[in-house]
Structure 1
C-alpha cells in the first residue's frame, strides 16, 4: 500500500505554494540568507533616499547652478572654499553652534530631570508618565505655530501671565527682539525634544536594580549621594548617546525656526539650514546651497567621529 501511495505522490505535480514553503524554509534556516533578506530592503531604501541624494548634492556643489539657468558651469572645489570664507556662512554657522549646543544642553537637563521625577513610585505614576510623553507626539509644525501665538506681544498668553504676576510691566515681543529671539526658539523647540531624552533615561532608570539603592541606604547615603554614586554612573551612557543624536538633529533643525521667526529678526535666528534654504529658493543658487549642505554634512561627520573618540559612549554601553 505504501509503495502505491509513494508512486501516486510522485506523479502529482508540486504545487507553487509547496515550492514557496520549501524556499522560505531554506532561507530561514540559513542565518546569512535571513540577514540578507531582512537588510536588503532597508539598505536599498537608505541608498535611495540618503546616499544617492547626498552624492548628487556633493556633485552639484562643484558647479554653478541656478534655477533660472539650466546650464551647469564647473567651478571645482574652490566654490566650497568661497562658501567657507563668506561672512554669511560663518555667521550662520556660529548661530547654528549656539542653537544646537544650547538646545541640547537644555534638553538634557530637562529630559533627565523629568525622567527622575516620573520614575518615582506614587499614585498615578503610570498616568503621569504617559502625560509626560505627550509632547513628543505633537508635530513640530504645530508646536511652532502654537508657540508663535502664545508669545505674541499683543494677545499672547505668556505676556499676559508675566504681566499679571508682576514680572513684566509691558508686553515683550520675545520673537521680535534680537536679545530674546534665539533663546525663545531654543526653549520652544526643546520643550518637545527633551521628551526624547526622557524616554531613553526613563528606560535605563527602570532597569537599575532596587537593591543598589537599598545598599546605599544601609551605608547612610543621602538622596544626592545615591544619585551621584548609583544613578548617574548607570544613566551616563544614555545621556552621552542622547547628546550625540540630539546635536545632530538640532543642527539640522529647520521647521521650528522657520515657522516661528523665518530666521529673524534680521538674521538673528538664521542658522545653516535656513541659510541654505534662502540661498536655494530666494537667491536661486542651487550650487551654493548644495555646497552649504555638503559642508554641514562634513562638519557633523567630523563631530560624530571626535565625539566617539573622546566620550566613548560605546564603552559606557558595554560597561552598563
Structure 2
C-alpha cells in the first residue's frame, strides 16, 4: 500500500512521539476511557479511517521538513494542523494500523496502550484540597477541607493530571494571615521505565507559579506560623459588623473592612489571597496592583 521508506519514517516518527508524550491533552485523549469506547464502537469505519490517517501522517512528515530521526513532539504535530493526530494514537491502542502498515514495529506501543495506565489519570478538582487553618487540629480534620469548583486555569481544560494514583494536592492557608503551605502526596507514580518513557505531569510547578513566592513546604514551619495569626489585625477600616446563623446552628460574626493599596502590608496580603479566584471564577485574571485607583472590601 505504501513504500518501505515511508513505513520506516512512520515507525521512527511514531516512536519519537511516544517517547516524548509531554503534551497533556494527547495523553488524556489516549488514555481516556470515553475516547477508547467511542472508537471501539466504530470498528466498521476503521477501514475507511486508517488510509486517511496515514495520509495525514505523510503530510505532517513532509511539512515538518526535519530529519525524522529527531524527536518530534505533539506540539510540532499540532502546529502542522494534523487533524487526525489524536486518532492515530487511538488506533494504535488496538494495533489497527498493523494490517495497513505491516512493516511497522509495534513493539513498545502495546505497553503504553495497556488499560492499566487509566488509573494514572486523576481529576484535578478531586485531587486538590484547601484549608483555612485556625488550629493544628484542623490539619487532620476532614471537616475543614474544601475543594475548588474548577481547576482548568491551572491544570488545563480537561482538569486532569496524568501520572499518579491516589494524588492529593494540599494547599493550606492560615486563616488570618493567609500564610501558605503547598505539598502533594500520592500512592503511586507512573514508572517511565515500565511505560516506554512516559513521564508524569508536573503537579507543583503550575500551581506554584500562581502563588506568592515564599510559600511553605514544611508542615512544621506551617504549624509554627499559626502562632503569628493570634496577633493579626485586619487591614483597613471596619465598615460594619454582622452575625449569621449557620446551618449547624452556630452563630458567626463577620466584619467588613475597606482599604486601598496604601495600607502597609496589604499588597502582600492581597497577593496571597488572589489565587482563590482561579478556583471559583472562570476566566479569572489578577488585577494590576500598581494602579492606585483600586479599592478593596474584605470580609
- Structure 1 length as normaliser, TM-score? 0.22
By percentage of residues, which structure has more helix?
1
By percentage of residues, which structure has more strand?
2
Could you say which structure has the larger radius of gyration? 1
Q: Which has the higher contact order (CA 8 A, sep 6+)?
A: 1
- Structure 2 length as normaliser, TM-score? 0.23
